[in-house]
Amino acid sequence: MASDVDSSLESEIRDLTQRARLAGRRVANLDSATKNSLLLQLAEVLNSSQTSAELMAANAQDLEAARQKGVSTAMLDRLALDARRIGAIVDGLQEVAALPDPVGIVLRSWKRPNGLKVGKKTIPLGVIGIIYEARPNVTIDAFSLCFKAGNSTVLKGGSEASHSNRSLVRTIHQVLAPPGMEEACQLLDSSDRQAMAALLRQEENVDLIIPRGGEGLIRFVAENSRIPVIKHYKGVCHVYVDEDADPSMALSIAENAKISRPATCNAMETLLVHEGIADTFLPVFSERMQKAGVEMRGGEKTRKILPGAAPASQEDYHTEYLDLVLNIRVVSSLQEAIEHIEEYGSSHTEAIVTNNDFTAQEFLDRVDSSVVLANASTRFSDGGQLGLGAEIGISTTKLHAYGPMGLDSLVTEKFVIHGEGQIRE
């Protein structure tokens, strides 16, 4: 019996992804004006008092159930949709509509000696599966970016947001109905890890999986997927203050990287300081950190300068705190700083502060994280901040996309060739 249930689930999910694939071919052929107009219609409908009210009612059901289950305050906050959040979703849709269409662009073209004209042209990926936690705003964000890039979307949100997601997807379907493209947005509304695992096996129909959430969810997806996955596990970001740094610039960048929003993946978790500047820099920096309530942990050299700092363990250097905790390590050279990053970093984002252009260049060349900065805060590692428009996620694995991903990461390139009857010898 159990295997009957499994195979019926498998076949249900196969059908769902196949419908997404077939609809995807039609989305791929929509022109920019049509896609933008549908996105703006969706914004308008979501903004209408009737739809907003329905959505908030659905969300209230989710919130009530979540409270009864006793979920954390942080999770309740992520789950909640109030007028301001709905407004932000509407703004997001308008921004996506205003972005340039990434599809159909000939990125490069050349002519072969035999006269063949070869071009590489962007096309949609096809079907993108988004697996996320109980954050209903992701439902619209992810759908809109995938749709703008000509893709179908299979959404698998956290079960705690089930009523909210159903309400949102109903609204998407209402807008997609006139062109007959409802199937381009599929909601996999199941709380079941079996369902997620079945989705991850649909490599015939799904081209890419983007998981968004905690490390546990992402590891489950990465270990169970036959479909390519773009992911980042964590952001253990570093700022290295070189001996040639401008002290006040270093202070401002390190402070910004740690405390402007400590719960984000681009916040600094470890400060590396050259020993030539540590004695003067660290006491002033530490005072600022104490004022901001940051707990500091350090190695032996650090604790000689900052006796109040707790000892840092090996594990601490690997940890993404996402909180007001900071590791500090004094290093004797750029080399040692780079080796620390290679050993403990997560390939996310690292910054150097220095007035020495050669040192800056060596750091930027040798650190192979997805984002490397000289004399700027790690907090700029973000699609919007870097000018990519809205961000669908961030990749710390190197295939296809590395770093913050905008619309450009939701397309691929095919070879398009114009001939005049050429054959191969």
Q: Does 27 bind its own copies (CB under 8 A)?
A: no
Token pair for residue 70? Answer: 């006793």
Least distance from C-beta 94 to its own copies, angstroms?
20
Q: Which is nearer to its own copies, 67 or 400 (CB)?
A: 400
Contact 378, 346 (CB under 8 A): no
Q: Which single residue is written with the structure tokens 């039609």?
A: 26
Q: Which is nearer to its own copies, 67 or 112 (CB)?
A: 112
Residue from 113, 128, 90, 124 nearest 211 by CA: 128
Contact 217, 211 (CB under 8 A): yes
Q: Does 419 bind its own copies (CB under 8 A)?
A: yes
Residues 6+ apart with CB under 8 A from 230: 208, 209, 210, 393, 395, 397, 399, 400, 401, 405, 409
DSSP 229: B
> Which of 203, 215, 300, 323 forms a contact with its own copies (CB under 8 A)?
203
> Which of 4, 77, 315, 365 forms a contact with its own copies (CB under 8 A)?
365
Complete DSSP assignment for 126-156? SEEEEEE-S-HHHHHHHHHHHHHTT-EEEEE
Q: Does 417 bind its own copies (CB under 8 A)?
A: yes
Residues 6+ apart with CB under 8 A from 377: 239, 253, 256, 257, 260, 351
> Which of 16, 28, 282, 312 forms a contact with its own copies (CB under 8 A)?
28
Least distance from C-beta 30 to its own copies, angstroms?
12
* Residue 56 identity (one-letter amino acid): M
> Which of 403, 405, 406, 407 forms a contact with its own copies (CB under 8 A)?
403
Stretch that binds its own copies, among 62-70, 164-172, 294-302, 357-365 (CB under 8 A): 357-365
Q: Does 157 bind its own copies (CB under 8 A)?
A: no
Complete DSSP assignment for 14-78? HHHHHHHHHHHHHHHT--HHHHHHHHHHHHHHHHSHHHHHHHHHHHHHHHHHHHHHT--HHHHHH
Q: Which residues pair with 208 in a beta bridge?
A: 128
Least distance from C-beta 375 to its own copies, angstroms?
4
Q: Are strands 393-395 and 127-132 parallel, antiparallel or unpaired?
A: unpaired
Residue from 234, 218, 19, 22 nearest 130 by CA: 218
From CA 344, how far away is CA 336, in angstroms rounded? 12
Least distance from C-beta 374 to its own copies, angstroms?
5
Q: Does 116 bind its own copies (CB under 8 A)?
A: yes
From CA 44, how far away is CA 32, in angstroms rounded? 18
Least distance from C-beta 210 to its own copies, angstroms?
11
Q: Does 400 bind its own copies (CB under 8 A)?
A: yes
Q: Which residues pair with 144 in a beta bridge?
A: none
Least distance from C-beta 117 to its own copies, angstroms?
10
Contact 235, 349 (CB under 8 A): yes
> Which of 96, 175, 373, 392 forms a contact with its own copies (CB under 8 A)?
373
> Which of 371, 390, 392, 407 forms a contact with its own copies (CB under 8 A)?
371
> Which of 60, 222, 310, 325 forms a contact with its own copies (CB under 8 A)?
222
> Which of 40, 249, 322, 325 forms a contact with its own copies (CB under 8 A)?
249
Q: Does 9 bind its own copies (CB under 8 A)?
A: no
Q: Which is nearer to its own copies, 31 or 300 (CB)?
A: 31
Q: Which is nearer to its own copies, 171 or 319 (CB)?
A: 319
> How many residues sit close enough to its own copies to count as binding (CB under 8 A)?
69
From CA 79, how far away is CA 159, in angstroms rounded? 11
> Which of 112, 280, 290, 291 forms a contact with its own copies (CB under 8 A)?
112
Residues 6+ apart with CB under 8 A from 187: 155, 156, 157, 165, 166, 169
Least distance from C-beta 71 to its own copies, angstroms?
30
> Which of 228, 247, 276, 299 forms a contact with its own copies (CB under 8 A)?
228
From CA 34, how far away is CA 244, in angstroms rounded? 54
What does the per-residue mask of binding to its own copies show for 317-356, with x meaning CB under 8 A? -------------------------x--------------
Q: Does 364 bind its own copies (CB under 8 A)?
A: yes
Binding site residues, its own copies, CB under 8 A: 25, 28-29, 104, 110, 112, 116, 118, 123-126, 203, 207-208, 222-223, 226, 228, 230, 246, 249, 252-253, 255-256, 260, 342, 360, 364-366, 368-377, 379-381, 385-387, 397-400, 402-404, 412-425
